[in-house]
Amino acid sequence: MNLEEKSYVEQQVANRSKTMLVSYLLWFFLGSLGVHRFYHGKIGTGVAILLITVFVTWFTFGIITAIWLIVDAFLIPSWVREDENRVRQQAMQEVNLMKNNQ
């Protein structure tokens, strides 16, 4: 890859990948509803935490949700890195396709 292609790939990563700031803001303000998980494409566990919060929190005083949110606080950086790697791979595939079509 030449410098221009690398620049294109990193620009795509910066523009299209999920950000740490948005992830933590969603986690902090809407985490008990699982919104941060929906943002990262983790729909199944997002629905699970939403249902636990809505139907079980009154019985457990939110302990299950609180534990899940604490764990998620440490998982968010790896989710962001995974998304950056996914976007980087897609951008590199785009560059390779453009090279092959020339």
With 90 as the cut, is the pLDDT of residue 78 above it? yes
Residue 10 lies in a domain: no
Residue 45 lies in a domain: yes
Give residue 101's pLDDT: 86
Q: How many domains does the chain have?
A: 1
Residue 5 lies in a domain: no
Residue 58 lies in a domain: yes
> Which among 18, 36, 34, 24 has a CA at the least distance from the CA of 81?
18
- Rounded-to-integer distance, Cα 11 and Cα 30, Å: 29
- Taking each helix axis from N to C end, the angle separating 43-60 and 63-101, rounded to the nearest 10 degrees, works out to 170
Q: What DSSP assignment string belongs to the chain?
A: --HHHHHHHHHHHHHHS--HHHHHHHHHHHGGGTHHHHHTT-HHHHHHHHHHHHHHHHHHTTHHHHHHHHHHHHHHHHHHHHHHHHHHHHHHHHHHHHHHH-
Residue 12 lies in a domain: no
Give the residue-averaged pLDDT of 4-28. Answer: 97
With 80 as the cut, is the pLDDT of residue 28 above it? yes
Domain housing 49: 19-101
Residue 65 lies in a domain: yes
Residue 61 lies in a domain: yes
Residue 27 lies in a domain: yes
pLDDT band at 1 (very low <50, low <70, confident <90, very high): confident
